[in-house]
Amino acid sequence: MTTPQAPQSVIPPLFAGLCDDAAIFPPGDLALPQAVPAHLAYRSAWYAELVGPFLCSAARIGALSEQLAEGEPPLAGRLPVGVIVPEGSTALADVVRTVTADPRLRLVGLEVLADRDKTAAEGVRAVRAELDRLLPEYAPDVQATIELPRGPELLLGLDQLEGSAYRAKFRTGGATPEAFPGELELASFLYAAVYRKLAFKCTAGLHHAVRQDEEATGFAHQGFLNVLLATHAALEGAEHAELAGLLGERDGTVLAAKLSDLSPAQVRATRAAFTAFGTCSIAEPLADLLALNLVALP
């Protein structure tokens, strides 16, 4: 008698849980009455394993809970949610206690901006200390992330994360051209994070697979396949110039071919380092993966 085998996911391990749902954040700015049903639909779709938690700012947690109570379709169990805390360490206690006590929400992630009224190192230390104090009691299994400021103090902030259980978060886009890091700046972050053995996530500007100029704005967006490949290269010992070159590659077929050659162990290592990115669109990254034959329709 043979043992039944679990069906194989149509989402390859390289992309499993890669796209955190940031639909309510700019530039998507989807209202909760539309964003919540859409997220619930993703969670039951054939590509569900591509999608990470629903991201919500701390200020809108109450509204999210109300929407879940009133909305259709009804929620089965608690909604996995990642809470964004731009206020830093001083807001953490209230956020953690509120969300963990809510019967409609399951706190799976915290993304906390390093305190802005301090140096980068001091700001990271303050958030890390508060997470160390709160999580063991209220949310020991939560994946916590500290967003670091771009600029000359970035490495000092990363130093304060080294040896911790917390991820680094790096902003890769926004509403202005200056919000988008260039290839060398992003390469420097990847190199520094991998060197310190820090897991990380990115946010903003990564909703397409390949490095490109956005037609509507002209902004130069990073590609999430570029980041995956550069992360793998950094783990293999590549230096800044090579990483920047991979981040600048604009031929999706080249990126897809190289990523398809990764061994299962290399895939696991790459995703252990680059864990996720926040995107206001799930449809766009999925469409790109389908177009490059990296994901197949079931």
pLDDT at residue 261, as a whole number: 98
Answer yes or no: are the C-beta atoms of 191 and 239 closer than 8 Å: yes
Structural domain boundaries enclosing 33: 13-291
Residue 268 lies in a domain: yes
- 17: three-class secondary structure by DSSP: coil
In a domain, 7, yes or no: no
Within-domain flag for 298: no
Alpha helix (H) residue ranges in the chain:
32-44, 61-70, 92-100, 120-138, 154-161, 183-195, 224-235, 240-247, 252-260, 264-273, 283-291
Q: Is the pTM of this model over 0.75?
A: yes
**Parallel/antiparallel/unpaired status of strands 212-213 and 200-203:** unpaired
**β partners of residue 115:** none
What CATH number is attached to the domain comprising 105?
Answer: 3.20.20.70
Asked if residue 5 is part of any domain, the answer here is no
The total number of structural domains that make up the chain: 1
| 169 belongs to a structural domain | yes
How far is 89 from 23, CA to CA, in rounded Å? Answer: 25
How confident is the chain (298 residues) per 10-residue block, as mean pLDDT?
Answer: 52 98 95 96 96 98 94 78 98 98 97 98 98 98 97 97 98 93 98 99 95 89 98 99 98 99 99 98 98 96
Return the pLDDT at 114. Answer: 98
DSSP codes, 42-53: HHHSTTGGGEEE
Q: Structure tokens of 87?
A: 């206020």
Whole-number pLDDT of residue 8:
58
Would residue 160 count as lying in a domain?
A: yes
- CA–CA separation, 153 and 142 (whole Å): 27
The pLDDT value recorded for residue 73 is: 61
pLDDT, residue 72, reads: 66
Considering the domain boundaries, does residue 71 fall inside one? yes
Q: CA–CA separation, 151 vs 141, rounded Å?
A: 31
Give the 3-state secondary structure percentages of the chain, helix then strand then coil, rounded to 5.
45, 15, 40
